[in-house]
Structure 1
Amino acid sequence: MSADLWSFSLNTYARPGVEGLCLQLQSAGANVCLLLCGLWLERRGVDCTEQRLQALFEVVGPWEVNVVQPLRALRTQWKAAAALDVELKALREQVKNLELESERHLLLQLERTAQSWPQGETTERSAWLEGVAAGAANLDRDALHQLRVAVTGT
């Protein structure tokens, strides 16, 4: 298992089926960085509490609204036009890289927030994933379960 959240996230996202499930859950309103962080905390045996969930949401909220979402919106807005314009396609790729870098930074912030939380505690298997996805408006619980299976095999 990867010790740091960024490496864990890259390894997890590269597993078969995970990218599609994450994008499906993102479309339903879930935050992919929070989902990956929840899986990471679950794997580390960190106990899920309301205070810890709130701490994570406080980190994600402003960064998501002020940094990630504007970059994602710009990248999405340019998609069709970039298919016809080589220069715009190159700029769109730079925006995509900035979006990825902003997500890496967010994962680092989440890891820092959780670094002092004790590991090896017992926790309900689904507590973290359910907790970090709780705010998603149209959450597909089956997709959430499939994500856990794709990552943990259980």
Structure 2
Amino acid sequence: MPVDLWNFALRLYRRPGVEPACLQLQAEGGDVCLLLCATWLEWRRIAPDGERCALLRDLARPWQETVAAPLRRLRQDWREAAREDVRLAALRGRLQQLELDAERELLTRLETACRDWPEAGADEGTSWLERLAGNAAHCRDALETLRAACHLPD
């Protein structure tokens, strides 16, 4: 797996079961970028703690609320109309790319915030996903899918 968060996230997302798990977590109110970062931190064996979790949440929340989520809502709102309107479909495609760019920027900001955190002991770096799942914490199977996927061979 690549070390930087963006490339880690891209490769993880392509693994079996990860996309549906992410969509389920997002539908339940989870922040997928934050959860991808959580998976990366677990993979890197970084010890979670309340202060670190709060820092990442505080970094992600305003970006999601003011940038990524509005783009996603608009793209989703255009889904039906774009099926009948070729020009709107093209705009929707550009909007989807903008949404992806916004997610990449958030992942970059999250990586910058935690890139230098030291590795933990043997079993200390394993609960980021549950701590950062927010409203989606009850989606245990989806969280386990993310956790397991980062340990699959390339």
TM-score by length of 1: 0.92
What are structure 2's unaligned runs of at least 5 residues? Answer: none
What are structure 1's unaligned runs of at least 5 residues? Answer: none
Which is worse superposed, 137-146 or 55-64? 137-146
- CA 1:112–1:75 in 2, change beyond 3 Å: closer, same or farther? same
Identity of aligned residues (%): 47
Distance 1:9 1:26 in 2: 15
Distance 2:106 2:91 in 1: 23
Which residue number in structure 2 is paired with residue 93 of structure 1? 93
The one-letter code of the counterpart of 2:57 is: F
Distance 1:138 1:84 in 2: 38
Distance 2:112 2:128 in 1: 17
- CA 1:122–1:48 in 2, change beyond 3 Å: closer, same or farther? farther
Distance 1:127 1:104 in 2: 23
Per-residue CA deviations over 1:66-107 (Å, capped at 9, x if unaligned) read 000100000000000000001000000000000000000000
Which residue number in structure 2 is paired with residue 104 of structure 1? 104
Give the root-mean-square deviation of aligned CA atoms: 1.5
Distance 1:137 1:119 in 2: 26
The one-letter code of the counterpart of 2:147 is: R
Structure-to-structure mapping, 1:9-88, within 5 angstroms: 9-88=9-88
Distance 2:125 2:141 in 1: 15
Partner SS state of residue 136, structure 1: helix
Distance 1:8 1:137 in 2: 22
Distance 2:138 2:27 in 1: 9
- CA 1:138–1:47 in 2, change beyond 3 Å: closer, same or farther? closer
Distance 1:152 1:19 in 2: 16
Q: State how many pairs are aligned.
A: 152
Contact 2:34 2:132 in 1 (8 A): yes
- How far the C-alpha of 1:120 sits from its partner, in A, is 4.6
- How far the C-alpha of 1:147 sits from its partner, in A, is 2.6
Contact 1:46 1:123 in 2 (8 A): no
